[in-house]
Amino acid sequence: MASHIIGPVAEFPADTHRVVKIRNIEIGVFNVNGTFYALPNVCPHQFGPLCEGSVNGTMACNADTGWNYTWVRDGEILTCPWHGWEFDIPTGRALARSKVRIRTYPVTIEDGQVIVTL
């Protein structure tokens, strides 16, 4: 595993993301409420450009919401632009298929720089 400096934290404002290239691998780097995540830019469904999709939230209806549908996890759900598969950014798990998961890469901040480890 090797660490790669992606750029200064200032280039990744809160609640934004962008795709970067490390060696020959495209990686989506996400700043979700000040916490950084990195995911491969490949959807496992049909290999679409996953990280070029939109970032939203999702609906929940459970005991925590009083059994009312409520918008939750805003800024934590990535939607593939090709066919709409949704993924949890922090864990890489698909929302509709719990056994489908994409890889996540460690991200650290050192001396004001965003570092992704592959």
Residue 98, pLDDT score: 85
Task: For residue 59, count CB atoms less than 10 angstroms from its CB and return exposed for 0-12, middle for 13-18, buried for 19 or more.
Answer: exposed
Task: For residue 99, count CB atoms less than 10 angstroms from its CB and return exposed for 0-12, middle for 13-18, buried for 19 or more.
Answer: exposed
Max distance between CA atoms of the chain, in angstroms, equals 48
Residue 1, pLDDT score: 83
The enclosing domain of 82 has a CATH number of 2.102.10.10
Residue 38, pLDDT score: 98
Q: What is the mean pLDDT of each run of 10 residues along the chain (118 residues)?
A: 94 95 96 97 95 94 92 94 96 93 97 97
- How is residue 33 written in tokens? 């409420």
- Give the count of domains, the chain: 1
Alpha carbons within 13 angstroms on the beta-carbon side of residue 107 total: 25
Which structural domain, as residue segments, surrounds residue 17? 3-117
The pTM score is: 0.91
Residue 116, pLDDT score: 98
